[in-house]
A and B are shown apart, each in its own frame.
Chain A
Amino acid sequence: MGRYFGRKSIVYALTCIVAVTINWLVPRFMPGDPVLQMLISRGPDTNPEQTAVIMDYYNRLFGFDVPLWQQYLNYWGALFKGDLGVSVWLFPTPVADVVLRALPYTLGLLLPAILLSWFLGNKVGAMAARRKWLDNSVLPVGYVLTATPYMWLAILLAWSLGIVAGIFPTAGGYGFDLQPAVSWEFASSLAMHWFLPFLSLFLVAFGGWAIGMRNLVIYELESDYANYLAALGAPPRLIRRYAFRNAILPQVTGLALQLGVLVGGSILTEVVFAYPGLGNLVFQALLHRDFFLLQGVVLFIVIGVLVANFVIDVVYVLVDPRTRAGMQGVSA
């Protein structure tokens, strides 16, 4: 087991280093240096003091006054101190602060959407695997949902339930006329603004889980051991339970693999609803050509996904008896 985690840790550490290095490397070695372009293009009318602060950070991380390896190490050093630079768009707020302020919104969307879609998708998929009538509706709906781009479903919901039906607001994290406060009014505004982006994320993910589970359960029910159990006269309920248990493990792996896609989906959904999370920050950073902010957010997302992946890996090992037993063996 120790070796298994050792191996996994190497992969994650390596991925982390690769991600940070890409993040450092790409702007540094781009012809024309887009970051410098960004700073120069700010023009003479901007606050010279502001430009000085940004140039200072830029010089430390990208400047030519220290050798390359020093720049690279500086980057890591700054990272460990949580220093992601200063946002150009929201000057003089540090990027880390901007990210932390947006984070609760994204987590509030993603966590419920991921967990609920996973649980319900697996439930419905397993049910569809043994009820023809349900299967006939779950399967096509599931495939249509997985073929739907996140942003388009978001647009569709915003338009139909938001603008045409007028039930839900379609932009922002809470009413424009409100200030964050612990009050009923604010909480209900928050919930109303949250619902559509959540629903949109939930639906696309749900389709994928339901189909995946349905196929896995059918595969398990047709396996030799299920036939063997049936031949022994085991009650169908018992067989279904075994099938479900075996099918849930690949779905746990699937959760880890889909995290990146789901986070990407939340970026797109937040953009449609102008929801004040990390995704919208990405979009704003792109619009305002705020490269420090863009890099900070993306790096944050990448590391967040890696951590979540690692957690899922640990959970997987804890729930799967086979990995526990087989880890010492040949890992071909």
Chain B
Amino acid sequence: MTDTRPLKPITADARRAEIFRLALGNPKVIAGLVILATLLALGLAAPLLSGHGPSDYVGPRAEPPSADFWFGTTLFGQDVFVQFANGIRSTYVVGLLAGGIGALVGMTVGFVAGYRGGVVDEILSMITNVVLVLPAFAVLIILAAYVGIDSVVHQSVFIGAFSWPWVARAVRAQTFSLRSREFVDLARLTGVRPLTIIRTEIGPNMGSYLLLVFIVLFGGSILTAASLDFLGLGPPGQMSLGLMMNQALQSSALVLGIWWWFLPPGIGIVLIVGALYVTNIGLDDVFNPKLRKM
């Protein structure tokens, strides 16, 4: 199989370097990435932060933030900061996994439908439209309730399985227009296989767009996962920001005024998802300089 190797070093190095330079000069990209990196570091460090787990009863009950417990303790004496750090960690995992799965499925369906056209396209587009109008969250509730979610990976697969249709639509439309360009014909005349053509000719032309798509899916998956966790449908035994809110609400933290319990998880989600969106706008400015005037 000679044609499964990546193409020789004839890639757009100069262009890439230019984009990279522009991206690192864009304040939105920088701000977004700094927030994301900081929280990621916190999430990665979560297991090292303290000797106890997120659900261990380690301190006095319902204590406000203090030097010992930075974010205070829950009604049951659990360390909110440890819960938060662990929640951030699983938030990243679910976002990356579910966003990745959604992007992968959406791109595959979109590329194949757009490239092959004809009956294949009709069938794939029909499936895409069906999943698109299906209210994903309601279906996820049923699936999670019956099938059960036993791990973050499992949850990501479910979320990714319903988040791809709009990606497939957009990728299909772009593939459709790229497919009729003559450089694709030229590759075919050179005997390059369809999958290789999609990977080496069509894909790279949509590279920046695909990155933006992934970022949006990343953020959306985080919100969906938090919602499922909040309904108590998350992986059991896995601390998450949604579960923190669920437990706080169930334990009447609002009435009891334990604000340090229910504020951090929301702030964490807003920060991560907001930072993703800000990075996205910044990158959009870089990739589509036309909008930069504004």
Chain A contacts to B: CB under 8 angstroms: 10-12, 14-15, 18-19, 22-23, 26-27, 30, 34, 143-144, 146-153, 155-156, 158-159, 162-164, 170, 218-219, 222, 256-257, 259-261, 263-264, 267-268, 271-272, 282-283, 286-287, 291, 294-295, 298, 301-302, 305-306, 309, 332
B231 close to A305 (CB less than 8 A):
no
Q: How far is the CB of A20 from chain B (nearest CB, A)?
A: 11
User: Which residues of B (251-278) have their CB < 8 Å from a CB of A?
Assistant: 254-255, 257, 259, 262-263, 265-266, 269-270, 273-274, 276-278
Chain B contacts of A170 at CB under 8 A? 254
The answer to whether A268 and B254 touch (CB under 8 A), given A14-B126, A147-B219, A263-B135, is no
Residues of A within 8 A of B254 (CB): 155, 158-159, 162-163, 170
- Tell whether, in the assembled complex, residue B137 and residue A302 are in contact, meaning their CB atoms are under 8 Å apart: no
The 10 closest A-B CB pairs, nearest first, are A260-B135, A264-B137, A152-B266, A147-B273, A147-B274, A305-B135, A11-B129, A15-B130, A26-B146, A301-B138
Query: Which single residue of chain A is at the shortest CB-CB distance from B255?
Result: A163
How many whole Å from A166's CB to the nearest CB in chain B? Answer: 12
B231 & A30 in contact (Cβ 8 Å cutoff): no
From residue A187, how far is it (CB to closest CB) to chain B in Å? 26
B291 at the interface (CB under 8 A from A): yes
Q: When the two chains form their complex, are residues B135 and A151 in contact, meaning their CB atoms are under 8 A apart?
A: no
Chain A residues whose CB sits within 8 angstroms of the CB of B265 once the complex forms? 152
Residues of A within 8 A of B255 (CB): 163
Residues of A with C-beta under 8 A to B273: 147
CB of A87 to closest CB in B, whole Å: 15
Binds A, one of B58-66, B95-103, B198-206, B222-230: B222-230
B137, A152: Cβ atoms closer than 8 Å: no
Instruction: Give the Cβ gap from A43 to chain B, nearest Cβ, in Å.
Output: 21
Complex Cα–Cα for A143 and B248 (A): 26
On chain A, the residues within 8 Å of B166 by CB distance are 257
Q: Do A306 and B145 touch (CB < 8 A)?
A: no
State the CA gap A287–B250 with chains docked (Å).
11
Q: Are B134 and A302 in contact (CB under 8 A)?
A: yes
The residues of B that contact A301 with a CB separation of less than 8 Å are 135, 138
With beta carbons under 8 angstroms apart, the residue of B126, B133, B233, B274 that contacts A309 is: B133
The contact sample of 26 A-B pairs, CB cut-off 8 A, is A10-B126, A15-B129, A15-B130, A22-B139, A26-B142, A26-B147, A27-B146, A143-B274, A143-B277, A147-B269, A150-B227, A152-B262, A152-B269, A155-B248, A155-B266, A156-B263, A159-B259, A218-B294, A260-B135, A264-B137, A267-B141, A271-B230, A271-B249, A301-B138, A305-B133, A305-B138
* A118 and B288 alpha carbons, distance in the complex (Å): 27
Contact A148 B266, beta carbon cutoff 8 Å: yes
Interface residue? B124 (CB, 8 A):
no
Nearest CB in chain A: distance from B252 CB, A: 10
Whether A283 lies near B266 (C-beta < 8 A) is no
B290 on the A face (CB < 8 A): yes
| Interface of chain B, main secondary structure | helix
What is the CA–CA distance of A18 and B133 in the complex, to the nearest angstrom? 11
Check A156 against B231 for contact (C-beta < 8 Å): no
B294: which A residues are within 8 A, CB to CB?
218
Chain B interface residues (CB < 8 Å from chain A): 126, 129-130, 132-139, 141-143, 145-147, 166, 176, 219, 223, 226-227, 230-233, 242, 245, 248-249, 254-255, 257, 259, 262-263, 265-266, 269-270, 273-274, 276-278, 281, 290-291, 293-294
- Which residues does chain B contribute within 8 Å of A152, judged by CB atoms? 245, 262, 265-266, 269-270
Q: Are B266 and A11 interface neighbours, CB within 8 A?
A: no
Contact of A163 with B277 in the complex, beta carbons under 8 Å:
no
Q: How far is the CA of A286 from the CA of B148 in the complex (A)?
A: 12
B40: min CB distance to chain A, Å: 17
Inter-chain contact A257/B142, CB cutoff 8 Å? no
A26 to chain B: closest residue by CB: B146
Query: Which residues of chain A have C-beta atoms less than 8 A from B262's C-beta?
Result: 152, 155, 159
Known: A155-B266, A158-B254. A291 touches B145 (CB 8 A): yes
Complex CA distance for A306 and B262, rounded to whole angstroms: 34
The smallest beta-carbon distance between A161 and chain B, in angstroms, is 11
CA–CA, A156 and B262, complex, Å: 9
Interchain CB contact under 8 A, B133 and A149 = no
Distance in angstroms from B231 CB to nearest chain A CB is 6
CB neighbours of A149 from chain B (8 A): 223, 226-227, 230, 242, 245, 266, 269-270
Closest residue of B by beta carbon distance from A158: B254
Quick check: B135 and A257 within 8 Å, CB to CB?
A: no
Residue in B closest to A264 when the chains form the complex, CB atoms: B137
Residues of B within 8 A of A222 (CB): 290-291, 293
Measured between C-beta atoms, what is the minimum distance from A331 to chain B in Å? 10
Contacts of B290 in A (CB 8 A): 222
Smallest CB separation, B174 vs chain A (Å): 12
